[in-house]
Amino acid sequence: MSLITDPVFALFVSLGLGYLIGQLRVGPVQLGGVCGTLFVALALGQLGVRISPDLKNAAFALFIYALGFTAGPQFFANIRGGWRYGIFSVIEVVTVLLLLIAAVLIFHFDAGTSAGLFAGSATESAVVGTASEAIARLNLPEAEISQLQANIATATV
């Protein structure tokens, strides 16, 4: 077994390298450690690294917690700004969903590509894990599930 495909080693590589990548700044944009780790973990998953479902669920729960922990204070600070932020949020959600529906109907995207397109367009990295878990529960052959989950990561970027 190659060192990079060892699940324990890959887990720590994704945490360490993801945190470092998250600290890089391109102009005013910085991903942050959570999103950097997600992208490295997605890349390692494309190399064939598989972890147990229990560890996968625990890591996803920690990811959602970390995302909420970082975004929560900003959310409550923006509530004090008035209803205009709420209106902009509704406009964004409606616009993204309408454009996604149009793209799916025009280009006949599969479920994985559609979920990845939504995650990337709405900049919601939590959609990646949620959609991947939902696709894993579909009554489909294992090869098709793997392909749909790979399409999520491909379309997100």
Rounded-to-integer distance, Cα 56 and Cα 78, Å? 32
pLDDT digits (tens, 9 = 90+) for 138-150: 898 988 988 888 8
Encoded amino acid at 62, one letter? L
pLDDT digits (tens, 9 = 90+) for 31-45: 888 788 888 888 887
In the predicted model, is pLDDT for residue 113 greater than 70?
yes
7, 12, 128 from 156: Cα distances, Å: 23, 23, 8
- Break the chain into its structural domains and give their ranges: 81-157
pLDDT at site 5? 66
37, 71, 122, 137, 147 from 74: Cα distances, Å: 21, 5, 17, 33, 36
pLDDT at site 70? 77
